[in-house]
Amino acid sequence: MYFFSRFFSVFILFFCFMENGRPGEPIIIAHRGESIFYPENTLAAFRPAKGKADMVEFDVRVTLDGELALLHDSTLNRTTNGDGLFSSTTLSMLKELDAGSWYHPVFTGEKIPTLEEALKTITPFAKSLVEHKTGNAAQYINLFNRLDMKNALILQSFDWDFIKDARKLDPNITLAALGSDELSTSTIQSIKDIGVNIIAWNFKSITQETCDLIHSFNMKLFVWTVDGPDIPVYVDMGVDGIITNDPGLTKGYIQSRKPGNLDLEKGLLAHWKLDEGARDPNSRIVYDLVGKNHGTLYASNPMNNWISSPESSFSGGIELNGDDEYILLPHNSGLDIGKNEMTISLWVKLNELPSEMKRPHAYILGSLEDSCSILMDKKSKEIIFKVTDVNNDFMKPGIPEAKLGKGKWSHIAGIYNGNAGKVLGQSLIFLDGKLIDVHAGRDTKEPPSGGANAIVKPGQTAAIGRKGTWSYGYFSGCVADIRLWNRALSFPEILETSRK
């Protein structure tokens, strides 16, 4: 009790602030913890949410001997080394199980926490969003009162009879009604009538009109479970809470909407503006403005390749025919990233879409090792950012052809962050400053294999317009302003690089 009394005066102010939200910003709620990178509903998943999430959500069930503990599923099979029903297992039996190794061996020995353990772990840095799965309202309310923690949490459930009972037992506890079907005016009113001010709904059923309707009732809207490119959609929609497996990515996007100081020179390894033709139309040298990674243009008549302003969105660019023209970049350590982070940014104008190509691949920027490549893929009908680490684990998020166009300049950026999680890296691809796709862990296997989090594979021989020194994967189109960093740029920095 002493521990929580110490923090009460500080956290009552903090949690009132969180419940009201920040003007123009939703609350970030870590779904089962930072479960994209850690085993869900464990203390190992809750702790990394500090500094990223305003709330941590988790699921609670009643054990055979009447204790409240955490697990999403009704059975133990998926997320522990046990089997059978949770409800047929005592707490002491649950505490013998391993709730971490299913995700990755590094989490072997992680235990199923009790509700009390979860609250005590989360409360010093965030509010808890407690999801009732089983048990009666009195079991929950009594525990909250014993711990003096009802101001440190929100209680939610799909069982609205449970919500009604909780309201009768405690007129002041904050409650949320969970659901997933289409929301009507009558449904919203019925939720409000039982004393609930927060609607926690499946994002797939939420439109801008639904969001506005809920707000017209002076109620708050949380949406679940929102990840990857869906994050910007619902942040911009104006919902009050984003329930996400990836609170770090969500926070990154929210920060991108704020002005700030940017340092795009930090970690910049190479910068090919591709504007040499503006000064010398016969030039075959492509200069790196940062290092010594100067390239050589291979084309029969360079005057036909260089693009000068105003044809390009920049001071210049280059057009390649897709048959035999390319720029070879030097094979040296200057192009080795040397870290488990990197970002690549470039501008491109396509002469053809991926599905229209006669060849399987076309490399806008390609290396023999695919250490970091931007390429068009005919089979998947995408532009792909492929990054490979020293263990030959790779990720390749993509931009679907439906989002691309021909004959117009587009900005493409790829980010690799091997430090995103303890055992999994993360890779993202952007189009014109907007997040399009996100991959976590190596693409060859699903977690718990891990992977794609080590140093970027060194020793690459790269080219603009084909795959390194291979006479393969020639690109047809225009390229300008290619930059390479040995760090993962922030969302605001990606936005800045996408501005013409």
The residue among 22, 485, 78 whose CA lies nearest residue 258 is: 22
Q: Which residues 6+ apart lie within 8 Å of 18 measured at CB?
A: 27, 54, 55, 126, 127
How far apart, in Å, are the Cα atoms of 421 and each of 42, 44, 198, 424, 454?
A: 15, 11, 31, 5, 11
- Which token pair is 457? 């594979």
Angle, CA 249 vertex, CA 246 and CA 255 arms, to 5°: 140
The residue among 112, 79, 107, 108 whose CA lies nearest residue 96 is: 112
Distance, first Cα to last Cα, the chain = 57
Of residues 31, 271, 361, 439, which has the active-site annotation?
Answer: 31
Q: Is 411 a catalytic residue?
A: no
**Cα–Cα distance, 472 to 345 (Å, whole number):** 22
Sign of CA dihedral 316, 321, 322, 324: negative
Encoded amino acid at 263, one letter: D
The residue among 147, 109, 111 whose CA lies nearest residue 128 is: 147
**Cα–Cα distance, 276 to 317 (Å, whole number):** 8
Residue 454 contacts residue 341 (beta carbons within 8 Å): no
Q: Is 439 a catalytic residue?
A: no
Residue 201 contacts residue 223 (beta carbons within 8 Å): yes
Of residues 72, 132, 271, 361, which has the active-site annotation?
Answer: 72
- As a whole number of angstroms, the longest Cα–Cα distance in the chain is 83
Half-sphere exposure of residue 223: CA atoms within 13 angstroms, side-chain side: 26
Residue 486 contacts residue 290 (beta carbons within 8 Å): no
List active site positions: 31, 72
